[in-house]
A and B are shown apart, each in its own frame.
Chain A
Amino acid sequence: MIRVLLCTWIGLGCLAAPAMAETPPPVAEAVAALPDYKPGPRLAGTISLWGHGSAKRDFMGTLIKRWMEEFHRYQPGVRFDYRMYGTASAIGALAVGASNLAILGEEISPDAERLFERSKGYRPTKIEIANGSLSTNYFDYAHQIFVNRANPLARLNLRQLEAIFGAEHRCTTGNIRTWGDLGLKGSWANRPIRPYAWKTDTDFALFFRERVLCGSHRWNPATREVVPVERPDGSQYELGQQIIDAVARDPDGIGISNIRYAVAGVKPLAISWGRGGAYVPATDATLISREYPLVRIIPAYVDRPPGKKIAGPVAEFLRFVLSRQGQTALVEESGYLPLNAKEAQEARKWLR
């Protein structure tokens, strides 16, 4: 429906857009609540765009192509230099001046942020452009916490997660190492918690470290880290699947994975931001609203010297990306979820 309305509104038809089977209601509502794109004055210049993608799998190609197509109708003087080689090179390219816009496939890594800061003397400016998906591979699916099906626990808050998976406790006060520490009674009370996670210096784990461990790299040393494994038939035993399977085998296990890998022997927990917050499951709606705390966020980064606003073609393009038209394209051409109206407005604050 959104797709039809938008195409009619801009009167351009919908080039190359694969039809979406059904836009889930929370997604459609979020997009409908966004403001229309109001083109600014005609601009000229080049947007050098580096970021998420690869020579083998062009995750973002279809979406970026559509953004460029539609934006070009409003701003024919703006050219694109498309260099989506992958997130790993995006901030480096921005730091050395090879690009003026980086679109990452995940949150920025501390190393990348340091690189930029060392080069420029200030941090890169983040503009959030999408929410990660609920369960779509390559589109930054949400982290979910699983326990064994036999475990009576139903919910956790971020501070409890920090106390379970962390060892430094920057935002909380101490360790949680037994199920009794979480209030479980009887035979559960003295049993140790066994955490399972990705190797703790990988991209996935970096997100958890920033969001849950308050930036600490000191994970609970009892954490079982899974590493890439090839099955006898040559296929990859995916890390998320390994974690789920380990928790299904281990009644004392707790793992960070995603519903896409879930099996009968595990259950996902409802999560809240803090003790007084609402405990919610991961759904499209709770990811878009950000009520679910372990939602991934897709950022763009620009080089904005302190005290200045982002101007010119890059600002105008980002204004388009954050509009109803830009987010409609995002929903139709990628696995990401749209921003909600509040976050989209917040993201526009640095744009002149």
Chain B
Amino acid sequence: MASLKFVIAAAGLLSSAAAALPTPSREMGDNQLVVATTAQLAPVLRKVALELEHEHPGLDVSIAPVGSDVAMADLYTRRADIAVIGRAATDPEIKAFQWIYEYPPKAWPVLRGSVAVPGHSPSIRVLVNASNPIRSISVQQLEMAFRSERPIHWRDLGVTGPFASRPVHPIIPDSEQGSGIFIRAALFNGATLFAWDRVKEIAEPRHRGSIDDGLGASLAAAVAHDPQALALVPGGATAGTRPVPLECGPTLPCDSSGAIERTVYAYADPKPRPDARSFLLLLIDGSRTGSIDPSPYRQLPAGQAQELPRKL
């Protein structure tokens, strides 16, 4: 580190200030691999770390459960070799890395989120009140319900009978927070403008180190109390609510129940260190470490998992 610091000790050295900026130096020892991640993913990654240390005596693998945003900061400041996070990196996080290294970090899908466990990248479901007769819904209909400037009624979504003339009451997680950001990206092409006169947002609990474990329940409770509610919810249905299968297309990864699956990504330098590469390979090959059990995360589909070694 010291070699990268320039000491302002003489006028002759000053001209280097604005010259080509050196990239940050790696903070760790050669035999140390640091993986920054979330508290929820840490148990999975610790099993992988143990296996890797077993295979490579002398290697010390540290798992740092610092949270997704701090994990990305650890990566671009080179305090971590890999960031494993339960979401895609944001544009500012990519930009932060890219403006330092002049190339973006590489993203590898490594796991699937949970089916419905709070805080573990649960799939997103469309929930309605249990009394609502709607059978399925398309992405275009969601777009209409959440973003159209004109009022939307259930008949606009294909519902007939007494419900048809009632207005739709759309509900989403806070569109600026984790699940809300994912929903905006996955379903609304990153849009930020919604029909705010009728769309209700429910915020994630905010306290240090929190996860969105109360969010899905809050959203479901709102749906249970409102027969006209149409909500996008991280997690499963609860009493008084009913999931509605989403008609997914080829670009939207849904499971067989019509819920939108989420992906856990690993970010690292595009040419990772050999030990980082080994770590990622072990992570996707859960069969060797049993890393997933008993966590609610899921392995990637076989085809997707087989692509990773080739990409690495």
Using a CB–CB cutoff of 8 Å, the interface residues on chain A facing chain B are: 15-16, 46, 53-55, 58, 61-62, 64-65, 68-69, 72, 76, 78-86, 88-89, 92-93, 95-96, 98, 109-112, 114-115, 117-119, 121, 167-168, 199-201, 217-223, 225
Contact = CB atoms under 8 A, between A and B. Distances in A.
Contact of A217 (B92, B99, B176, B197): B176
Contacts of B17: 61, 64-65, 68, 80, 82
A97 to B, nearest CB: 8
B11 A96 contact: no
B298 interface: no
Nearest to A58: B18
Given A117-B208, A223-B193, A85 B99 contact: yes
Interface in B242-269: none
B147 interface: yes
B5 A167 contact: no
A276 to B, nearest CB: 29
A80 B6 contact: yes
B163 interface: no
A83 B67 contact: no
A256 to B, nearest CB: 15
Contacts of A109: 92
Interface string B55-99: 000000000001101101110110100000000001011011101
B209 interface: yes
A62 B19 CA distance: 10
B209 A118 contact: yes
Contacts, number: 132
Nearest to A91: B73
A310 to B, nearest CB: 20
B20 interface: yes
B202 to A, nearest CB: 14
B213 to A, nearest CB: 16
Contacts of B21: 53, 55, 82-85
* Nearest 7 CB-CB pairings of A with B: A61-B18, A92-B73, A89-B96, A86-B99, A88-B96, A167-B196, A98-B77
B99 A89 contact: yes
A165 to B, nearest CB: 11
A117 B209 CA distance: 10
A92 B77 contact: yes
B16 to A, nearest CB: 8
B188 interface: no
Contacts of B209: 118
Contacts of A69: 8, 11, 14
Interface in B117-148: 147
Given A110-B176, A221-B194, 8 more contacts: A55-B21, A68-B17, A72-B8, A79-B5, A81-B4, A92-B96, A114-B69, A118-B208
B18 A96 contact: no
Contacts of A55: 20-21, 99-100, 102
Nearest to A94: B73
Contact of A76 (B9, B69, B73, B147): B9
B8 A79 contact: yes
Of B6, B70, B193, most buried by chain A (CB within 10 Å of CB) is B193
Contacts of B76: 89, 92
Given A65-B17, A69-B14, A93 B77 contact: yes
Given A79-B5, A121-B208, A115 B99 contact: no
B192 interface: yes
10 contacts: A64-B17, A65-B17, A68-B8, A72-B9, A81-B5, A89-B76, A89-B99, A118-B69, A217-B192, A219-B192
Contacts of A78: 8
Of A62, A76, A86, A118, most buried by chain B (CB within 10 Å of CB) is A118
B50 interface: no
A293 to B, nearest CB: 23
A46 B8 CA distance: 10
Interface in B14-56: 14-15, 17-18, 20-21, 24
Contact of B67 (A76, A118, A218): A118
B196 A218 contact: yes
Contacts of B74: 96
A86 B95 CA distance: 9
B241 interface: no
B5 A95 contact: no
A62 B175 CA distance: 40
Interface string B160-199: 0000000000000001100000000000001011111100
A84 B194 CA distance: 36
B92 A88 contact: yes
Contact of B193 (A76, A86, A225): A225
B127 to A, nearest CB: 22
A114 B14 CA distance: 35
Contacts of A111: 69, 90, 92
A168 B203 CA distance: 15
A184 to B, nearest CB: 23
